[in-house]
């Protein structure tokens, strides 16, 4: 399957094929919902999505999964090294670091703005310096680079039926919505890393602070104040989903089933948190395989129909041109 995708995308260079394959493996191993949705894209678009995911995941793991003896300076140095290799790759059109090689090729193919990747790397550095966000404005500065730019990177790959400038705010909002969902699902894990990705002033309105969250983590359950605070945060996240939703119909018909599936499945994580009575310390909110299949199978059929219609239009156009 991976070879067919690379062939469809016209990626012939053996080293590049290997680089894209490594990114695909990262996506398959770590981005379960994201990878499932990617499978609904036309084969020629999938390698670019894998490359974008692979680069982001590689850098994110430098920050979140460092070796046990690595210091913050070690991690900062490694991010700086990736940034230098990225800049060199963009300038030279190649790199010997696979995740950079694949993403540089994707930037060239889809004319992506390298500044989007610089913003992402800046947010990764913020994780080494900032453990709490006083308000939503501060958090949005982080999520612009960690999430909104991902939506903007993907937009040219997915294609649009409107001008990109009109679709861009919705694409950025969708990246933000997914990130906010991750923050809510991963409160316990992030706390274990010393971080809180929820605005402190909004938590304080419910009597919640770091000490209270840490106490709930130690006890293994969320108290009433924390549950109320998380219910409010879910309402805020859903408002971002609502802002993102109109952007799906602005995408190329061949890409809509992919994004609609991700939209539904990520939103379902919020449903699971609600079903758990907002107790994110009792277990990780996940979407079951049955729910994923109920969403993915109809989406697959829509994606196949969209591809067939696109191919039919192309054949008709070629006959007319002939």
Report DSSP letters for 169-232, one per residue: HHHHHHHHHHHHHHHHHTHHHHHHTT---S-HHHHHTTT--HHHHHHHHHHTS--HHHHHHHHH
Q: How far apart are the first and last CA of the chain?
A: 33
Which pLDDT band, with edges at 50, 70 and 90, does 254 fall under? very high
The CATH code of the domain that includes 167 is 1.10.600.10
Same-domain pairing of 303 and 169 = yes
Number of neighbours of residue 225 by Cβ within 10 angstroms: 15
132, 129, 265, 236: which is closest to 191 by C-alpha?
132
* Token pair of 27 as six digits: 């996506």
Q: What is the mean pLDDT of residues 8-16?
A: 96
DSSP state at residue 243: H
pLDDT of 299: 57
149, part of any domain: no
58-72, 75-89, 277-291 — most confident range: 75-89
Least confident of 146-150, 180-184, 294-298: 294-298
Tell me the C-alpha distance between 107 and 93, whole Å: 9
83, part of any domain: yes
pLDDT of 72: 86
| pLDDT of 235 above 80 | yes
134, part of any domain: no
Same-domain pairing of 240 and 124 = no
pLDDT of 303: 57
Same-domain pairing of 165 and 290 = yes
pLDDT of 300: 52
Same-domain pairing of 32 and 99 = yes
- 3-state SS, residue 17: helix
> Per the structure, how many domains does the chain have?
2
Q: Please check whether residue 188 is in contact with residue 221, taking contact to mean a CB–CB distance below 8 angstroms.
A: no
Structural domain containing residue 199:
161-321
Residue 96 neighbours by CB under 8 Å, 6+ apart: none
Same-domain pairing of 183 and 244 = yes
Residue 147 neighbours by CB under 8 Å, 6+ apart: 175, 176, 178, 179
| pLDDT of 311 above 60 | no
213, 208, 194, 74: which is closest to 127 by C-alpha?
194
Tell me the C-alpha distance between 208 and 235, whole Å: 17
pLDDT in tens, 20-29: 999 999 999 9
Residue 6 neighbours by CB under 8 Å, 6+ apart: 17, 20, 21, 47
Q: What is the mean pLDDT of residues 157-177?
A: 97
Cα 172–Cα 252–Cα 290 angle in degrees, nearest 5 = 80
Same-domain pairing of 287 and 185 = yes
* Residue 150 vs residues 117, 121, 146, 170, 274: alpha-carbon distances, Å: 9, 12, 7, 12, 27
More confident residue, 117 or 36: 117
Same-domain pairing of 103 and 36 = yes
141, part of any domain: no
What DSSP string describes 77-93?
HHHHHHHHHHHHHHHHT
pLDDT of 191: 97
Which pLDDT band, with edges at 50, 70 and 90, does 314 fall under? very low
Residue 242 neighbours by CB under 8 Å, 6+ apart: none
Choose one of 80, 108, 129: the last residue of a domain: 129
145, part of any domain: no
Please report where in the chains the tokens 């210091």 appear, as a residue: 71
| pLDDT of 318 above 50 | no
Q: Is 236 exposed, middle or buried (0-12, 13-18, 19+ CB in 10 A)?
A: middle
pLDDT in tens, 273-308: 999 999 999 998 887 666 665 765 565 566 567 665
Same-domain pairing of 165 and 124 = no
Q: What is the mean pLDDT of residues 99-105?
A: 98
Same-domain pairing of 100 and 186 = no
Choose one of 129, 145, 176: the last residue of a domain: 129
Least confident of 236-250, 265-279, 293-307: 293-307
137, part of any domain: no
Choose one of 108, 129, 150: the last residue of a domain: 129
Same-domain pairing of 175 and 110 = no
* Token pair of 68 as six digits: 């046990």
pLDDT of 69: 75
Same-domain pairing of 119 and 185 = no
């Amino acid at each position: 399957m991976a070879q067919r995708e690379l062939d469809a995308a016209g990626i012939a260079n053996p080293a590049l094929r290997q680089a894209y394959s490594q990114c695909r493996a990262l996506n398959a191993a770590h981005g379960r919902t994201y990878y499932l949705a990617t499978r609904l894209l036309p084969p020629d678009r999938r390698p670019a999505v894998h490359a974008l995911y692979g680069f982001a995941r590689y850098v994110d793991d430098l920050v979140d999964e460092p070796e046990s003896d690595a210091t913050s300076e070690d991690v900062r140095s490694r991010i700086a090294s990736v940034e230098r290799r990225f800049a060199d790759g963009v300038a030279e059109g190649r790199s010997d670091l696979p995740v950079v090689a694949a993403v540089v090729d994707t930037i060239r193919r889809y004319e992506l703005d390298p500044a989007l990747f610089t913003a992402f790397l800046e947010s990764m550095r913020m994780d080494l310096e900032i453990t709490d966000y006083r308000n939503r404005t501060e958090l949005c500065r982080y999520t612009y680079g960690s999430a909104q730019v991902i939506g903007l990177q993907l937009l040219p790959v997915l294609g649009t039926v409107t001008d990109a400038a009109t679709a861009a705010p919705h694409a950025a909002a969708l990246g933000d919505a997914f990130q906010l969902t991750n923050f809510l699902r991963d409160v316990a894990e992030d706390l274990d890393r010393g971080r809180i990705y929820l605005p402190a002033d909004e938590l304080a309105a419910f009597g919640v602070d770091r000490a209270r969250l840490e106490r709930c983590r130690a006890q293994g359950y969320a108290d009433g104040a924390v549950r109320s605070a998380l219910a409010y945060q879910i309402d805020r996240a859903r408002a971002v989903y609502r802002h993102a939703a109109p952007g799906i119909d602005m995408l190329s018909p061949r890409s809509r089933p992919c994004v609609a599936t991700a939209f539904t499945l990520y939103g379902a994580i919020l449903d699971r948190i609600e079903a758990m009575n907002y107790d994110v310390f009792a277990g990780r909110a996940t979407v079951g395989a049955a729910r994923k299949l109920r969403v993915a199978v109809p989406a697959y059929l829509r994606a196949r129909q969209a591809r067939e219609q696109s191919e039919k239009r192309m054949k008709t156009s070629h006959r007319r041109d002939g």
